[in-house]
């Protein structure tokens, strides 16, 4: 069997949203797949700082910050923070519109004051909303924005009550950034991510595959929300979790059981990754 390159989203795929502990079946499946010669990497919107707690479980690298920072072992394949001018304009426009932000550098994240109260007021939602709620509750190292020291940013996660609050930022920034608004508008909440058009999870997939000389048809991607779409489209085989977005399922080759039901272990077995 050809060596496969496997990409795993974290929140809602490898772990329950906001958690740093994968289920035991997933860990065993990953161990067996790597022992069989396959390469298993993380592919996440999380930055390096927030995905680092998972690296000791045994991964060969990661596509971090939604594709903005890609590494394989000790080798950095891609590194593309936003410019200081882009950062300052985005933060000013969001603040003027009352949009709450979590800003992500390579190894540190900072959250607007009032984010916790905002999340308490909303209910339901997808894995990304749950991710930030649990991140604040369980402490993924997200610090108050007043502690931000100006280091380069890779991504801004935004939350607001109305789409109109994003209008000025979209007008000023959409030629350089994607506004990836999640398929959620409930209880007066919109959440999404500001991502540089220079990269996405799909570009991370391609750079990792090229570095390893693994054909794209021998790549497999696991995700659960629409910010995994570019990964699912880039890989040879796309897998969506049962707990995932209906829209992403329509783009996937396989739907596996939910993260709570050991979906990764089931899918690794079905795809012949366990040796």
Summarize pLDDT for 213-259 with one digit per residue, the tens.
999 999 999 999 888 999 999 999 999 999 999 999 999 999 999 99
pLDDT one-digit tens code per residue, 46-80: 999 999 999 999 999 999 999 999 999 999 999 99
Q: For residue 113, what pLDDT is reported? A: 83
> Considering the entire predicted model, what is its pTM?
0.88
**pLDDT band of 161, cuts 50, 70, 90:** confident
**H runs (alpha helix) in the chain:** 24-35, 48-51, 84-96, 115-121, 127-138, 167-173, 201-212, 229-234, 246-251, 263-270
The answer, yes or no, to whether residue 126 has pLDDT greater than 70, is: no
Contact 43, 51 (CB under 8 A): no
Q: How far apart are CA 250 and CA 25, in angstroms?
A: 26
């Amino acid at each position: 069997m050809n060596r496969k390159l496997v990409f795993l989203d974290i929140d809602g795929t490898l772990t329950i949203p906001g958690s740093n502990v994968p289920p035991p079946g997933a860990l065993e499946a990953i161990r067996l797949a790597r022992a069989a010669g396959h390469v298993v990497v993380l592919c996440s919107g999380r930055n390096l700082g927030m995905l680092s707690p998972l690296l000791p479980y045994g991964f060969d690298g990661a596509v971090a910050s939604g594709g903005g920072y890609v590494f394989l072992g000790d080798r950095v394949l891609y590194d593309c923070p936003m410019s200081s001018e882009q950062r300052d304009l985005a933060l000013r426009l969001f603040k003027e519109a009352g949009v709450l932000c979590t800003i992500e550098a390579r190894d540190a994240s900072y959250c607007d004051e009032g984010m916790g109260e905002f999340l308490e007021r909303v209910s339901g939602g997808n894995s990304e909303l749950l991710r930030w709620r649990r991140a604040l509750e369980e402490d993924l190292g997200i610090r108050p924005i007043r502690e931000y020291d100006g280091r380069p940013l890779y991504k801004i996660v935004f939350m607001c009550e109305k789409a109109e609050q994003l209008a000025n930022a979209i007008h000023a920034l959409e030629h350089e950034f994607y506004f990836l608004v999640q398929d959620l508008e409930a209880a007066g909440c919109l959440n999404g991510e500001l991502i540089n058009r220079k990269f996405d999870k799909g570009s991370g997939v391609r750079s990792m595959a090229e570095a390893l000389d693994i054909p794209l048809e021998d790549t497999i991607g696991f995700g659960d929300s629409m910010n995994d779409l570019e990964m699912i489209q880039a890989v040879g085989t796309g897998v969506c979790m049962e707990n995932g977005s209906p829209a992403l399922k329509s783009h996937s080759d396989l739907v596996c059981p939910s993260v709570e039901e050991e979906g990764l272990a089931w899918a690794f077995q079905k795809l012949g990754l366990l040796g």
